[in-house]
Amino acid sequence: QQKENTTIEDVLAKYVKGEYKFTVGQTVNAYNPVESKDLAYKVHQIDSNCLGITTAAFETIVLECQGKKPEKPGCFSVFTPRTSPKTKTMGATVESKRHCVRTIGAFCVGIFTPLTWTILFDCLPSSVIVPQYGIDVPRNGPPDRQ
C-alpha cells in the first residue's frame, strides 16, 4: 500500500532499484487489448524456484527467482509462444524478451508484453476506480400537462 504523498516517480524508482517482492497468491492486474478486458492473475510458482504469472495468451512473465538477483532490477523476462499468422497456430518454441517496468497512464507502473497485454504491478491509491452509478431516465416524451 502506497502512502498518500507517494508520486508515480517514487513507485517507479522502487522497481528500478529492485525494492519489490512478489509472493505466491498475490494478485497482479492485467489488461487484454484483444477482448478489452481487465483481468487479475495470481502469482504462482514457475519451475522450482521462480515466481511469475501466465496470461490467457500463454505469455509467462517471470517476476523473480529465489536466490538469484535480476540482471537488471525492474526488468522481467517474458516468454511468448511463437505463433504462425498463416495457420493461426501456436508452436512449441517460445521467444524470451526482457521488458522493463515503466509508467502506464498517470497512476500505475508495469510492463507491456509482446502480445500487447498490459501488466500492472503497482498503482497509486488515487487510481482506484470508483464505480460510476447513473440513473436511467426513460425517453418517453414530455410529461402530461393538464
Per residue in 19-28, pLDDT (tens digit) is 999 999 999 9
pTM above 0.85, yes or no: no
**C-beta of residue 72 within 8 angstroms of C-beta of residue 52:** no
- Condensed to tens digits (0 to 9), the pLDDT of residues 63-73 reads 999 888 888 89
Report the pLDDT value the prediction gives residue 57, as an integer from 0 to 100.
84
Domain parsing of the chain, residue ranges = 22-84+92-125
